[in-house]
Amino acid sequence: MIRKLILSLCVGFCCLACEEALPDYNTTWSGVQFVLGQTLNPERFSYSFIGKEDTRMMDTLWFTVRPQGLLPERSSRIRLEQYEGKEWKYIYGEDGAIADSVLRVFPHQAEAGVHYVAFDDERMAEHLTLEPGELEAQIPVIVMRDRSLQDTTYTLFFHIVDSEDLKAGDEKYCNIQLGIADCLTRPAAWNNWFFAGTWSQTRHEFMIKVTGEDWDDEFINTLDLDQKNYYLYVFNRELKKENAARAEDGLPPLRDDPNDPNTDIIFPTVANF
């Protein structure tokens, strides 16, 4: 597997943009962190084997990282670790104040050697490095196709931690949640406004059927405004045909939840962003 490298021409800008994250720019501190987008939850990603050939049992996802502080003068190791995903759930009283809280551990967390190649596996070692002079680099996460993914999405919570060569950078840019599935699952890039509703398997299957596209993160993130408007036109045109055919067969309109008459699938006519 050949390592992909991305070089930035904006050296001055990058240094200024990340200066606040450094503990002391005048020390010999060297760190690394992910380059994340500007979306609402930039740390969330998803991948599904659905639609891939049956023989594909592994796939590689690439994440961009950027050095912080002093640039390494030699090949430096980047260290990744899985962590347990959990969150605080707050219980509110009648007065609106917090009355109690419960620490919730997320279910279905990915297992090394089953859903992904362990970060300390020798297949990862040569790729988890930052070379001298690199202003950006890409590091891999290798996902594995397991039977358990056919009906459940497993989430890999992982982050950059200190290695013998590089410190973890700004905590906001060191954590990633990666959903791994072999079934239809809500893409991280799913936008409720553009798709006119929350994700449902029925809606997703309809979109795939009428366009031939997977509508996964990789595809959604390539769309510009004109392309979004084109696909909305296709969705509305084909949905009208679908519902007409269903009416002839005595069936209700296509719904996100077949058992809930308040969930008829609709799409906007124009994309504003």
Token code pair at residue 169: 């950078």
Q: What is the pLDDT of residue 62?
A: 96
Tell whether the model's pLDDT for residue 3 goes beyond 90. Answer: no
Res. 195 pLDDT band, cuts 50 70 90: confident
Helices (H) and strands (E) in the chain, counts: 5, 12
Res. 272 pLDDT band, cuts 50 70 90: low
Tell whether the model's pLDDT for residue 218 goes beyond 90. Answer: no
Cβ–Cβ < 8 Å for 5, 132: no
**Model confidence pLDDT, tens digit, residues 233-244:** 999 999 999 999
For residues 255 and 267, give the distance between their C-alpha atoms in angstroms, rounded to a whole number: 12
Give which of 199, 188, 193, 257 is closest to 221, Cα–Cα. Answer: 188
Mean pLDDT computed over 125-138: 94
Domains defined for the chain, CATH in brackets: 11-183 (2.60.40.2030), 186-273 (no CATH)
Element (H, E) at 198: none
Give which of 191, 269, 273 is closest to 231, Cα–Cα. Answer: 269
For residues 170 and 138, give the distance between their C-alpha atoms in angstroms, rounded to a whole number: 18
pTM of the model: 0.74
Cβ–Cβ < 8 Å for 23, 37: no
Cβ–Cβ < 8 Å for 66, 32: yes
Give which of 36, 252, 11 is closest to 133, Cα–Cα. Answer: 11
Tell whether the model's pLDDT for residue 181 goes beyond 60. Answer: yes
Q: Could you identify the residue written with the tokens 């010999």?
A: 28
Instruction: Check residues 185 and 159 and name the one with the higher pLDDT.
Output: 159
Q: What is the pLDDT of residue 137?
A: 95
Cβ–Cβ < 8 Å for 187, 220: yes
